[in-house]
Structure 1
Amino acid sequence: MVSTPAPRTMNGLTVHEPSASASWRVALPHTAAAVPVARALVRTALAEPAHPVTADSDTAELLTAELVANAVEHTAGTGPIELVVHLLPTGCHVEVHDPDPAPPGGLTRPDLTPPDPWQEDGRGLLLIRALSSSCGHRPTESGKAVWFRLSAVPVQRRHPA
């Protein structure tokens, strides 16, 4: 992919930020504290003036939060999870790497049973399938990566800065 310069530390986390590329990679703690950090990184990446991306940042933040929360809640261990954000001319691609090799249930195959309206959870993968232009998962050397893509938003639908 892209060569990454030396990492830097931001808020106690290691951030790999390629200077000549529109990609970010950050190790996140395997705790709920990772969710707001992931949302902030996606928001910051999509606002990057050097690489203007026209993907909807609110949707990107929501779907990123769902992926990170799923990785924290549904994978064992205390090792870090990793967030990777790629800005593309056609939108953005976000991946969350976790140590569990098991595929996420229902991401690429819709559940036939609708979520229980009285439960607080069970809608994350449904949101990812419904709001992303594509999504999926792939094995990695240390577990799996779960990803989604958002297409660029037409200029007239962008949020004002």
Structure 2
Amino acid sequence: MNGLALHERPSASWRIALPHSAAAVPVARALVRTALTELEHAADSDTAELLTAELVANAVEHTAGDSPIELVVELLPTGCKVEVHDRDPAPPGNLTRPSVGEPDPWQEHGRGLLLIRALSASCGHRPTESGKAVWFRLPTVPAQRRRRPA
């Protein structure tokens, strides 16, 4: 054994630049899935992938230019934190406060931030030197509720 108690999990983090295009979304999903799988981390991989895809898609759609987007994944003993950095300093729409009314069921857009608010343990945004970072946290999931690899 490596000296860690059974209930302790190592901390690790990754930071990677992604293209400012729709191609960044599946790459970001794969990176999060790989990070959680390789360390056998106890955060919910499906939810982490979905929310990461929403953050990356929002950064691509709502920021101008072709500067790379940065994905930061932190695996912590208590869960995981995912951040997406972009060059636009404007805060994301209704990330931390509910929007007024229900989303229009006929619109293709407008549910991403709602999903992030509903499915994450916490979420938010913060200014950075070059724009902003939008983030979410997911808690660890008890072993009996985790999906077993096929």
Q: TM-score, normalised by structure 2?
A: 0.91
Tell me if 1:92 matches 2:91: no
Q: Which residue of 2 aligns with 1:109?
A: 97
SS of the equivalent of 2:123 reads strand
SS of the equivalent of 1:149 reads strand
Structure 1 gap segments, 5+ residues each: 1-19
Tell me if 1:56 matches 2:44: yes
Q: Which residue of 2 aligns with 1:145?
A: 133
C-alpha separation between the residues in 2 aligned to 1:84 and 1:104? Answer: 18
2:34 to 37, 44, 69: 44
Structure 2 gap segments, 5+ residues each: 1-9
Opposite residue 43 of structure 1, the aligned amino acid is R
Question: What is the aligned-residue identity percentage?
Answer: 81
Opposite residue 26 of structure 1, the aligned amino acid is I
2:12 to 11, 14, 22: 22
Q: TM-score, normalised by structure 1?
A: 0.85
C-alpha separation between the residues in 1 aligned to 2:135 and 2:20? Answer: 18
Between the two proteins, the alignment pairs up a number of residues equal to 140
2:53 to 51, 65, 73: 65
C-alpha separation between the residues in 2 aligned to 1:114 and 1:150? Answer: 25
1:74 to 42, 58, 62: 62
Deviation at 1:144, TM superposition (A): 0.1
